Chains A and B, each alone.
Chain A
Amino acid sequence: MALSKQDIEYVAKLARIKLTSKESEELTEQLSVCLDYFEMINAIDTSNIEPTSQANNLVNVTREDVVNENMSVDDVLKNAPEHFEGFIRIPKVID
């Protein structure tokens, strides 16, 4: 198995997801299957290939520093579960 239960619990902690012990076990198995599948890629010999994160060969895609219209506050706040005086209101977070 590619993953241990500890791996799953660590990733869940980083992602702020609360898992029950049963869920952790289930996910350990399911995600391990996925990772095992991707293990196949490691069979390819890449020793002579430059690493890349791009498949389209584009470079230097930039824009000029120009300001355009932005959204109205009303539209912005439409997606917020709650708002207050133009701010998006969320459960209290402490640094």
Chain B
Amino acid sequence: MKKIQPVIGLEVHVQLNTRSKMFCSCSRDYFNSEPNTKVCPVCLGMPGVLPVINKKAVNLTILTGLAFDCSISPISSFARKNYPYPDLVKGYQISQFEEPLCIGGKISFMLNNEISEVSLERIHLEEDTARLIHNNSTVQDSSLMDINRSGVPLMEVVSDPDMHSADQAIGYLKKLRQTLRYIDVSDADMEKGSFRCDANISVRYEGDKTLGNKVEVKNMNSFRSIHRAIETEIERQSKMLNAGEEIVQETRGFVDAKGITVSQRSKEQAHDYRYFPEPDLPPLFNSDLTISNLKTSLKELPNIKSKRFEKQYGLLSEESELLASTKQTADNFEESVKEYQKLLKNNTEIELAKTVANWYMGDIAKQLNQISPDAELQDTQVSPRHISELLQLIHKKQITVSSAKVVLEKMFNNEGTPSNIVDQEGLGQLNNTDAIIEIILNVIKNNEKAIRDYNSGKTSALGYLVGQVMKETRGRIDANEASQLLIKKISEKK
């Protein structure tokens, strides 16, 4: 049987981080607002009103284009997209058609340890629609409208049909979301609806030049459901292709609970949006100066930051990527390295960074994960400086690594600064050799069986004995030191 190649293109709608709406001065913060409280004649679609373009929204779109190597159109304009649906108060949506703000470009990300590059078709700017509620139990015969979301700045990122697996699509989406958050363009939160994805999927036999009929899949609201929807749809189409059936070009909705896509027959009719230029909005001329100013303001992008981490801190590429995964994590990590370096001037940055990195990727990540998958230090009382203080206590042998883990947990429980916690809990490292030896001798005396085992060649018995010493001292002695002293004292006793 000939091999099938899936072809995927993604359309992502992103709500922009502005204060006001796209074409009026209403607050765009609709999420926690009572219905119809963030509304004015413009976003209500009253006749005779005049929309005016939000400059910040234009700049954020251009910034996104620059982050993905798009070419920025010197002349850009808006158009009316006509379709009748109650979520569209005017009967048309102001969007962009022939002259989008950004054209071309690409998104690069790692996929199975290789660089994957997906080309973009365009990025354009439009307005969000009103919110409809269809299932209110009191008024089951009605739909309810909340106009608050109408007019929220919406950026659409359209990829080329350039992806071939669900994994690749998710890699693309994660890199897009990460970058949008890095450059403060959007909070890109799927749960809150500020990052929404539709997938265009077709299949063909490998080597075929023409694309198969594409199916647009909608209604996916998590990365998990996008992945599942794409795989499900590829499977459905592949079976049809192999059976020689015709794949109808249509829109299908993903039903998460059942894991299937279902034809949305009401929307089957070919779209005819009758685009025409928006007469109320003069065109935008984007000068080279405006574009180069925006380029200057572009912050360090994730891929570039990760490369710098590898070089500057001598980290592995996976480590760098992990630490640069969000801007906050990256900033916190660097801040901790800087503070740690201030405390320990005789050590090199690379030496210190390695320790800081291990803590951020290990125990700190674990603590944050217990709060939520997206939690950052900023969501806690723990500062990057506190982390450096904790590490300094280990470095100066004032606490052991195992005590430090206990202290860290207490720091996340808001029990104080590292030194305070060490004092309160009496977790200071035992450095007095006589006291340590006394504990060791006691452990040897009380564990005759383990000593016999060890002496008869069972090296695993040593681990047990070290554990007993750690238990006696509540982890206040360095495990290596305990192990060495044990070996020494046991051999003296023989």
Contacts and interface: CB of A to CB of B under 8 A. Distances in A.
Do these two chains really belong together in a complex? yes
A13 B268 CA distance: 13
B37 A67 contact: no
B481 interface: no
B259 interface: no
Given A16-B84, A60-B284, A94 B52 contact: no
Interface string A43-70: 0000000000110101111111111101
Q: Is the interface of A mostly helix, strand, loop or mixed?
A: loop
Contacts of B142: 82, 84, 89-92
B40 A70 contact: yes
A54 B283 CA distance: 8
A14 to B, nearest CB: 6
A89 B139 contact: yes
A77 B36 contact: yes
A39 interface: no
A70 B41 CA distance: 9
A58 B146 CA distance: 34
Contact of A94 (B40, B134, B144): B134
Interface string B281-293: 1111100000000
By CB atoms of chain B within 10 A, which of A66, A86, A89, A95 has the most? A95
Interface in A5-34: 13-16
B194 interface: no
By CB atoms of chain B within 10 A, which of A54, A56, A61, A89 has the most? A61
B145 A87 contact: yes
A54 B279 contact: yes
A88 B36 CA distance: 8
Given A66-B20, A90-B143, A56 B282 contact: yes
Contact of A53 (B40, B77, B139, B272): B77
A68 to B, nearest CB: 4
B282 A93 contact: no
A63 B147 contact: no
A29 B282 CA distance: 35
Contact of B37 (A64, A65, A73, A95): A73
Interface stretch (B54-62, B172-180, B202-210, B437-445): B54-62
B145 A14 contact: no
Nearest to B264: A95
Contact of A54 (B44, B147, B282): B282
A61 B55 CA distance: 9
Contacts of A73: 34-37
Nearest to A86: B35
Interface in B14-49: 18-20, 25-27, 34-41, 44
B20 A76 contact: no
Interface residues of A, number: 37
A82 B57 CA distance: 34
A25 B238 CA distance: 46
B374 interface: no
A59 B35 contact: no
Contacts of A67: 19-20, 25-27
A84 B44 CA distance: 17
B277 A53 contact: yes
Contacts of B348: none
Contacts of B58: 62
B266 A94 contact: yes
A65 B266 contact: no
Interface string B60-88: 00000000000000000100001111100
A64 B44 contact: no
B53 to A, nearest CB: 5
B39 A71 contact: yes
Given A71-B44, A90-B143, 19 more contacts: A13-B269, A14-B83, A59-B285, A62-B58, A63-B25, A63-B52, A65-B18, A65-B54, A70-B25, A70-B39, A73-B36, A82-B142, A86-B146, A87-B36, A87-B145, A88-B144, A89-B144, A92-B141, A92-B142
Top-5 shortest CB links A-B: A53-B277, A65-B56, A87-B144, A68-B25, A58-B282
10 contacts: A14-B83, A54-B283, A59-B285, A62-B55, A67-B19, A67-B27, A70-B26, A91-B143, A92-B134, A95-B264
